[in-house]
Structure 1
């Protein structure tokens, strides 16, 4: 009797960090070597990263990409233990998992360029929302489309990517909650003033905390400006099967990781989204959501257990 022994070698691909720098308090930028992601990603999409076998899966917006260099730029904010550990990574370290691109690209990049050039578009970025706004504005600039950008943060120290945004925005307006830099107020205050001064906008793109996007949408609805938002609820698997990022958009149930992350802001039920995100953080809350939502609790087929 002859025995054939087959030896399998597990090839572990690591995603090396080429640059790591601190942008602001608890906010860090990293350039990561990920050629396949860089080759296929578009503005508006995201990745899910994991430091090691035991690490938590963290969804992060693609802040920038370089197809020739094969790199992806991500921005990490410390919000828990996993992101705290991630903030200590340096150039030369690596992620074990770097999955993407996930989600749908910004709908703007599929539009006719000449039509975009005729539109007056304003982007409103709140806090870390500057990171996902930047690649969209950069794409517009590269295609000859000038857009206005409003960047808001709690204070001067939390303003990120200012010089990068200046280089690609048609007009950049900065505001801070405490008035420590440029002007005092919210992004909505800047938009009100611009419209009062005679500015007309055909479209608004708002990205930031859900409460910020809610109030932008309340204002733009009043002003009659169609608005796109990029939703950032809790995400776990990034495939629509876990149900974490379930949203109500108009009369439909959507999942941010596969149907979005961009949606018509005037149709998003922000109050439900914020309440649901809070409930999903506890085991009891997840059980209650599963009971309440039935077959629509999960994405994908809608019937998975």
Structure 2
């Protein structure tokens, strides 16, 4: 059991919770994730560790309430206990030294980018961050990203805050104007695809985190199979980070829709009161 110590509603349907998990906090590194099971009848949910405090023995999780299980998690309050939180899982992010790195965070992905950017900054890299959302109300963790960035660019699709447009527009300008050593993108799969397409002509190393496709998180279910450089990989055990230029994003996007019908049915039953 893992007790919820803090809970914040960051944006509509986006929650931040701080969970008591001393053993996970002790070992956690940027880029890793945990498996959350809300109750004894719940399914496994892979969620990125957005922050951790080794001294306090806590981890922070940020999630979008999009299906039955994340909605159930979102209904828990401070003092409630999550049945199971397992981790840290996945390979930690590679942290270089002395590079100029652009971090691109889309939606909830901004929270996943944060600990990687923080450690990269601590390692002496120059950090340029681009964070984006559909509209101002869905932007999260701008203050945190500003703290770990030498430069921060904020975009919204509708122009309600920051620069109007998508994250790839300022990214392309940076690639044309500056010497960029690497780009790290975390967000919706479609966003990561277009980040990869944007950087490829410039030959800039680009990393994408493929957390969105994971289900079981242990390599046993095979749902997170991805093609990377023509070779089958498992996002949960071989990743979650991969060379974005080698990822077959078209296949990834198709696989993301595999269980959509079942997910919508489970969500419908949950909203109708069937637990």
1:233 and 1:244 in contact (8 A); partners too: no
Aligned to 2:194: 215
Aligned to 1:24: 11
2:4 and 2:80 in contact (8 A); partners too: yes
Aligned to 2:229: 250
- The alpha-carbon deviation at position 146 of structure 1 amounts to 2.7
Aligned to 2:174: 194
Gaps of 5+ in 1: 1-13, 284-305
- The alpha-carbon deviation at position 282 of structure 1 amounts to 5.4
Task: Report the number of matched residues.
Answer: 262
Q: Which residue, out of 217, 220, 224, partners 1:241?
A: 220
RMSD of aligned residue pairs (Cα, Å): 1.3
**3-state SS of the aligned residue for 1:98?**
strand
TM-score by length of 2: 0.92
User: Which of 1 and 2 has higher RCO (CA within 8 Å, sep 6+)?
Assistant: 2
- The alpha-carbon deviation at position 280 of structure 1 amounts to 4.1
Q: Which residue, out of 60, 77, 81, partners 1:94?
A: 81
1:41 and 1:101 in contact (8 A); partners too: yes
Aligned to 1:179: 159
TM-score by length of 1: 0.83
**3-state SS of the aligned residue for 2:207?**
strand
- Structure 2 matches for 1:37-52, cutoff 5 A? 37-52=24-39
- The alpha-carbon deviation at position 236 of structure 1 amounts to 2.8
Quick check: 1:54 aligned with 2:33?
A: no
Flag the structure with larger Rg.
1
Aligned to 1:120: 100
Rounded Cα–Cα distance in structure 1 between residues aligned with 2:63 and 2:46? 10
**3-state SS of the aligned residue for 1:266?**
helix
2:100 and 2:125 in contact (8 A); partners too: no
Runs of 4+ with deviation above 6 angstroms: none
Q: Give 1 or 2: higher strand fraction.
A: 2
